[in-house]
Structure 1
Amino acid sequence: MKFRTRGLVAATAIVFAAQAGHAASAKDREFPVADAPVLEDRFPVQPVAFPGGVKAYRDVAYQQLPGFTPQIVDIYVPASKGPHPLVMYIHGGGWVSGHTRHSGAMADFPAALASLASEGFVVASLEYRLSGEAKFPAQFQDAKAALRFLRKNAEKYGIDPKRVGVWGGSAGGHLTALTSLACHETTLDPASTEDGCVQAAVTWYGVFDFAAIAASRTGGADDAVAKLLDCDGPCSNEKYAAASPVTYIDSKDPPFLLIHGEEDKVVPVAQSHLAETRLREAGVPVTAIYIPGVDHSFIGHTPAETRAATLKATNATFDFFHEKLGVARK
C-alpha cells in the first residue's frame, strides 16, 4: 500500500507539473488578432504547376452566402504576362451533380483547361449551388457572382475584364447560355451589372427551351428539371420561360458557338437547332456544329468515335475563343 501511495503522489506531482508547464507556455503564445470577426478563408492557396508554365489555383472562394458552404472556382493562369482574356467553364450534371474538373469523356479535364490557358487565356472552372441545395435562379446568380469576382480580381490573375467568354455543357450549357443572354435581367439576379456580361459563348449540347423539352417527352419534363425549377408536378409555362435562355435573346447578345451530337438522347439536338434559328433571327452571330452518330457528352458507338467527336468539339471551342476574344494562335 505504501508503494501504491508513493506512486499516486508521484503521478499527481507529474500531472500538476505538466499543467503548470502548459499554463506557463500558453502565456508566451501570440497569434494575429483582428478588430472584428474574420470570415475569409486564410488557408494559403498554393498554385499547381501545369505544362507550359501554367499555374492553377484550386478552390478559390468567389462567394460566401449565409447557410451555404463557400462557392469556389479553379483558376488557371498563363505563364506570360497579362492581361489575358478570361474563359469561364460551367460544368454539367443535370443541375444535381458535377464539379469543376470533369467534362464528358475527357480523361483529364484539368489538363485540357490548362492547355487552353497555355494558349493565352485565364481559365476559370466554376462550382455553383446544385438543385438539391438551392432552386433556380440560384445557379444563374452564382455564375454571375463568379464573373463579378473574377473581374474584381482582374489584376491579381492577369485578366482583361473586357474580353470574357463562357463555356459549358448540358446543364452547364444551359447556364452558359442564360449567363450570356440574360446578363441584365435583374428579375433573375438583383445584383446584375455589366460585370456579369460576356463577349463570347460556347454551349455543348445545352438546354435552351424547357417547354419544348417537356413537350417532347411523355409525361412532361424529367425529374432533374422539376427539381431545378421547384415544381410539384408539371411546371407552369411561366416557370419554363423564366429559366429558358431563348426567352432573353436579342440583337445585343454575344456571338455563339453551338455544338451538339445528332443522336443525343438526353438533350435533344432540336434544342441547338432552335437556338441557332432564334439567334440568327435576332441578328446574333452564331456558328453551329452538329456531329453525326454521337449521343450526349459526344459518346459515339465506338471509343474512336467518342475520341474524334470530343477532339472536334474541343478544338472548335478553342479556335472560337481565339477568334472572338482576340488571341492569335502561336
Structure 2
Amino acid sequence: MKTLLSLLFLVAAASAQTPHVTPPPVGFSRVVTLWPNGAPGAHGTADGDVPKLYVYPAKANPTGTAVIVMPGGGYTALVTEKEGGVEARWLSEHGVTAFVLQYRLGPEYEFPAPMLDGARAVRWVRSQAASLGINPGKVGVWGFSAGGHLAGYMASIHDGGDASAQDPIDRLGDRPDFAILSYGRLSMDKGFTPEPVMPGLLGAHATQMQIDAISPVLHVTKDNSPSFIYSTTADQKVNSRNATAFYDVLQQTGIPVELHIFELGVHGTGMGQGIKDAAEVSVFPILLQHWMQLHGWMGE
C-alpha cells in the first residue's frame, strides 16, 4: 500500500508540472514563436513552455495601429477565444493589426515569466513594424482579468531596451503606447480582495515585498501608458475599486485616462455582448472605439 501511495504521489507531482496546453483562438493568419531558440527560463519545448503570438492582420483601411490582446485565466489558464480571438477579430475589422498573446502560466511559471513574455511581445511587434505595416509608435496592449493585471503592469513598469543586447529585438523598448484594461486587478490592497494575492503568479506564500512588486498602482510614473479602464460593480472576483484606484493615480499623475464602470455584469464579460441581465455593457465596444479614435489609434 505504501508503494502504491508513493507511486500515486509521484504521478500527481509529475502531472502538476506538466506544461499547459492552451487551445488557440479562432481565425488567426499565422502563429509566431517569440523566442525561436527558447524563452528565458523555459523548462522544455512543450506548448506551455513556448510563448507565442497569434496574428490577425488589419482587414481594411489599416490605421498603422497594433494591439496585443492578453487573455485572462488567473495566471493558470488562458481564455484565448472569449478574451483573445473575439477582440482580435474586432480590432482587425476596424483596421487594427491584432495579436493574441499566449504567455506562460503557473504553477510551472511564476513571476516574472508572464511579464517577460508580454515585454517580448511588444518588442517583437515593434521589430516587425515595416513588414506588418504598422507604426512602431502605435503599439498597445489589451488585457482581461489576469491579462488586465499584466497589461497594467506593463503600462507602469517598462524600459527603453538594452542597446548592447545581442538580440536586436531586445534593443527596442517595451513600453505600450496605450493600454486597455478590462476587469484586471490593478491594486494588491487586501481590503479589495481578501483571498491570497494572485497565487498563480506568486505562489501561495508571497511576501509583502513580492506583492508590492506586482501592484501596478504602486508603480505609476509620468511615463505610464495612456489607459482605458473598464470594470463592473457586480464583478464578484475583481472589485471595481481596482479600476478606480488605478484611475485616481493616473489622473493625479497627469496620464490620459478614461474609466467606465457598469453597475451590472459579473466577472468575465469580455466584449460585453449577449450578457444575460446586463444589456448595458453591450455599449463597451463603442466606448472603446471612440476612445481609440480620439487618440488616432482607430479610424472613423
Q: TM-score, normalised by structure 2?
A: 0.77
Residue number in structure 1 paired with 2:72: 92
Residue number in structure 2 paired with 1:274: 245
Residue number in structure 2 paired with 1:14: none
The structure having more radius of gyration, on CA atoms, is 1
- Aligned to 1:305, what secondary structure does the other structure show? coil
Out of 235, 251, 257, the residue aligned to residue 228 of structure 2 is 257
- Aligned to 1:139, what secondary structure does the other structure show? helix
Distance 1:216 1:252, change over 3 A: closer
Displacement of 1:111 in angstroms is 4.7
Instruction: Return the alpha-carbon distance in structure 2 between the equivalents of residues 259 and 82 of structure 1.
Output: 25
Residue number in structure 2 paired with 1:153: 128
Check whether the contact 2:142–2:148 (CA below 8 A) recurs between aligned residues.
yes
Displacement of 1:229 in angstroms is 0.9
For residues 279-323 of structure 1, give each alpha carbon's deviation from its aligned partner in whole angstroms, at most 9, with x where no partner exists: 1111111111010122212399x94434541x3223322332232
User: Do structure 1's residue 102 and structure 2's residue 102 form an aligned pair?
Assistant: no
Point out 4+ residue stretches in structure 1 off by more than 3 angstroms.
79-83, 190-194, 215-218, 302-308
Equivalent runs, 1:64-83 vs 2, <5 Å: 64-65=38-39, 66-68=42-44, 69-80=49-60
Bigger proportion of residues as helix: 1
What letter matches 1:246 in structure 2? V
Check whether the contact 1:200–1:325 (CA below 8 A) recurs between aligned residues.
no
Gap runs ≥5 in structure 2 = 1-25
For residues 30-87 of structure 1, give each alpha carbon's deviation from its aligned partner in whole angstroms, at most 9, with x where no partner exists: xxxxxxxxxxxxxxxxxx9x7xxxxx32332122324243211111112458671111
Q: Aligned pairs, how many?
A: 259
Out of 74, 97, 110, the residue aligned to residue 122 of structure 1 is 97
For residues 83-108 of structure 1, give each alpha carbon's deviation from its aligned partner in whole angstroms, at most 9, with x where no partner exists: 711111110011111143222xxxxx
Residue number in structure 2 paired with 1:202: 180
Check whether the contact 2:71–2:101 (CA below 8 A) recurs between aligned residues.
yes
Out of 113, 118, 138, the residue aligned to residue 143 of structure 1 is 118
- Aligned to 2:72, what secondary structure does the other structure show? coil
Residue number in structure 1 paired with 2:286: 315
Instruction: Return the alpha-carbon distance in structure 2 between the equivalents of residues 115 and 264 of structure 1.
Output: 24
Check whether the contact 1:73–1:100 (CA below 8 A) recurs between aligned residues.
no
TM-align CA RMSD: 2.7
For residues 248-306 of structure 1, give each alpha carbon's deviation from its aligned partner in whole angstroms, at most 9, with x where no partner exists: 10122221111100111100011111111111111111111010122212399x94434
What letter matches 2:110 in structure 1? K
Instruction: Return the alpha-carbon distance in structure 2 between the equivalents of residues 119 and 149 of structure 1.
Output: 22
Instruction: Return the alpha-carbon distance in structure 2 between the equivalents of residues 217 and 167 of structure 1.
Output: 23
Gap runs ≥5 in structure 1 = 1-47, 51-55, 104-108
Instruction: Return the alpha-carbon distance in structure 2 between the equivalents of residues 185 and 248 of structure 1.
Output: 16
Residue number in structure 1 paired with 2:218: 247
For residues 8-31 of structure 1, give each alpha carbon's deviation from its aligned partner in whole angstroms, at most 9, with x where no partner exists: xxxxxxxxxxxxxxxxxxxxxxxx
What letter matches 2:32 in structure 1? V
Check whether the contact 1:137–1:243 (CA below 8 A) recurs between aligned residues.
no
What letter matches 2:177 in structure 1? Q
Residue number in structure 2 paired with 1:171: 146
User: Do structure 1's residue 230 and structure 2's residue 203 form an aligned pair?
Assistant: yes
Displacement of 1:228 in angstroms is 1.3
- Aligned to 1:274, what secondary structure does the other structure show? helix
Instruction: Return the alpha-carbon distance in structure 2 between the equivalents of residues 226 and 281 of structure 1.
Output: 30
- Aligned to 1:98, what secondary structure does the other structure show? coil
Check whether the contact 2:184–2:242 (CA below 8 A) recurs between aligned residues.
yes
For residues 99-120 of structure 1, give each alpha carbon's deviation from its aligned partner in whole angstroms, at most 9, with x where no partner exists: 43222xxxxx635422311221
Instruction: Return the alpha-carbon distance in structure 2 between the equivalents of residues 155 and 83 of structure 1.
Output: 14
Q: Percent identity?
A: 22
Check whether the contact 2:115–2:150 (CA below 8 A) recurs between aligned residues.
yes
What letter matches 1:60 in structure 2? V
Instruction: Return the alpha-carbon distance in structure 1 between the equivalents of residues 136 and 210 of structure 2.
Output: 32
What letter matches 2:175 in structure 1? C
Instruction: Return the alpha-carbon distance in structure 2 between the equivalents of residues 132 and 123 of structure 1.
Output: 28
- Aligned to 2:130, what secondary structure does the other structure show? helix
Distance 1:202 1:112, change over 3 A: closer
